[in-house]
Amino acid sequence: MNHWGNVLKERLDTRTARVCIVGMGYVGLSLGVELAKAGLRVRGIDLDLERVSLLNRGESYLVDVAADTLAPLVAAGTLSATTSFEEAGSADAIVICVPTPLRKSKEPDISFILSAVENLLPRLRQGQLMVLESTTFPGTTEEVVQPRIESLGRVIGDDYFLAFSPERVDPGNKRFTTANIPKVVGGVTPACTELAASLYRHVTSSVFRASSPRVAETAKLLENTFRSVNIALANELAFACRKIGVDPWEVIDAAATKPFGFMPFYPGPGIGGHCIPVDPLYLSWKVRLTGYEAQFIALADQINRNMPEHVVTLVSDALNDRGKAVRASSVLVMGITYKPDVNDIRESPALEIIEMLARKGARVSYADPFTPQLAIEGGKLTAVVPSPEALAAADCVLILTNHSSFDYATIADRASLVVDTRNALKAYRGSRKSIVTL
């Protein structure tokens, strides 16, 4: 390793390095907290002024980051945030954690990465490490980011260092967090990889060195493609089991007793969050440029995206069986976040389901302790309290997210009709004919 690399490694190893994180959302804030806890000085950059203000007051805006963890770090001056990119000039390491959504055409949208890099370029200096954590298509680090840095006359692996390390944040997961999930790093050169590993050793004890950024980028996409395909299989199983009169959840539980060769995945109302609905399509898009069509990915995406319409059909059929039309019926939706016990509605299938029901003339309301208000097509909804009276008054109670705070015994007891897409009422289904499942 040359002079610049040795200087940076010493700063990383002795925890005297300054780290700048661009994007202080689920990934950036969690990473910043762990680095600050390890003793590094972290400065976050985010264009959301409210988010920056909350962080600088020591107030957490994420359910996975406790205020009593964040506040002491802010008070000690080891973690802070700003809206200005000027801070990047004094950093030893810069980590980019910005969103990478899909365009309406289902093509990758890396505009947030490009914007971050363009804002950073005037501030870059020799001896810095830049790590891209944003999930993206294979080749982004070397084909998109690297040329922009080299346009400044920087030599990657010599006087500037560049790597990719995929984020692996799982919101709401109490068992696996940023602190104990292994990190994968792939640098443009061996020196880049080693320096990125030195940074992440302060976060987790397990760092896997990939041979290139492209391998690390593809590994991330494989992780969530694996999940997408297996969720699609579980959703298709639900369709098949409905046809033959078998409970899909019981089938999965029975199969899961096998101690090898099987991993349980469960059906649901659709896929949500920033990863599973998006990441596989980044991979299939990149592969399609070579003339190859990733058929498995496309089929899984189709099955998963058909689930909201299937749920609406279940509600319609269930109401019809009781002599009611969807139009003018009251539907109380339980849970709208994409997974339990998080405050994240990105890509949540509940949003599409609510709008589809509303377009059919249903009077839709919702209960969700993590989302007090919801903007939908044509207006706004305000969360209601799922009291016994509210449950009894609804023509249909639709469980879309199985938050732990919901009183499922009361739902089963008071609701006249429940469409349960999460098997939340498993304990009550044997004695209730009013419960419909996927």
Provide the sign of the torsion angle of the four alpha carbons 396, 402, 406, 411, taken in this order: positive
34 and 166 both lie in a single domain: yes
Per-residue pLDDT of 235-281, as tens digits, reads 999 999 999 999 999 999 999 999 999 999 999 999 999 899 999 99
Residue 410 identity: T
95 and 189 both lie in a single domain: yes
Q: Residue 133: pLDDT above 80?
A: yes
Judged by phi (left if over 0) then psi (alpha if -120 to 50, else beta), residue 392 lies in alpha
318 and 432 both lie in a single domain: yes
184 and 49 both lie in a single domain: yes
Q: Is residue 224 part of a domain?
A: no
Averaged pLDDT, 391-413: 97
In degrees and rounded to multiples of 5, residue 193 shows phi and psi of -60, -45
Averaged pLDDT, 338-356: 96
What total of structural domains would you count in the chain? Answer: 2
Q: Is residue 106 part of a domain?
A: yes
In degrees and rounded to multiples of 5, residue 127 shows phi and psi of 85, 10
Rounded (5°) CA angle 208-146-194? 30
202 and 307 both lie in a single domain: no
pLDDT at position 126 is 95
pLDDT at position 191 is 98
pLDDT class of 25 with cuts at 50, 70, 90: very high
**Best CA proximity match to 279, nearest among 228, 347, 346:** 228
pLDDT class of 430 with cuts at 50, 70, 90: confident
Count Cβ atoms below 10 Å from residue 297 Cβ, excluding itself: 23
**Best CA proximity match to 22, nearest among 1, 42, 2, 50:** 42
Domain boundary among 211, 245, 263: 211
CATH of the domain at 385: 3.40.50.720
Catalytic residue among 97, 192, 241, 275: 275
185 and 246 both lie in a single domain: no
Q: Which residues contact 280 (CB under 8 A, 6 or more apart)?
A: 221, 224, 225, 228, 229, 297, 300, 301
pLDDT class of 22 with cuts at 50, 70, 90: very high
Instruction: Identify whether 275 is a catalytic site residue.
Output: yes
Per-residue pLDDT of 114-124, as tens digits, reads 999 999 999 99
pLDDT class of 377 with cuts at 50, 70, 90: confident
75 and 175 both lie in a single domain: yes
Q: Is residue 225 part of a domain?
A: no
Q: Is residue 218 part of a domain?
A: no
pLDDT class of 379 with cuts at 50, 70, 90: confident
Residues 80, 20 contacting (CB under 8 angstroms):
no
174 and 284 both lie in a single domain: no
pLDDT class of 1 with cuts at 50, 70, 90: confident
192 and 59 both lie in a single domain: yes
193 and 132 both lie in a single domain: yes
Q: Is residue 226 part of a domain?
A: no
d(CA 356, CA 388): 26
Instruction: Print the domain residue range for 63.
Output: 3-211
Per-residue pLDDT of 203-214, as tens digits, reads 998 999 999 999
Q: Is residue 415 part of a domain?
A: yes
d(CA 282, CA 285): 5
Judged by phi (left if over 0) then psi (alpha if -120 to 50, else beta), residue 401 lies in beta
Q: Residue 431: pLDDT above 80?
A: no
pLDDT at position 378 is 78
Q: Is residue 221 part of a domain?
A: no
86 and 184 both lie in a single domain: yes
pLDDT at position 372 is 96
For residue 429, give both structure tokens.
Answer: 């289904």
Q: Residue 288: pLDDT above 80?
A: yes
pLDDT at position 429 is 86
Burial of residue 40 (number of CB atoms within 10 Å: 0-12, 13-18, 19+): buried
In degrees and rounded to multiples of 5, residue 76 shows phi and psi of -80, -10
Cα Rg for the chain, rounded, in angstroms?
Answer: 24
Per-residue pLDDT of 156-176, as tens digits, reads 999 999 999 999 989 888 899
341 and 204 both lie in a single domain: no
d(CA 228, CA 67): 33
pTM > 0.85: yes or no: yes
Q: Is residue 217 part of a domain?
A: no
In degrees and rounded to multiples of 5, residue 411 shows phi and psi of -60, -50
Partner residues linked to 20 by β-bridges:
43, 94
Mean confidence (pLDDT) of the chain: 96
Alpha-carbon dihedral 122, 124, 125, 130, rounded to 10 degrees: -170
Q: Residue 432: pLDDT above 80?
A: no
Residue 304 identity: N
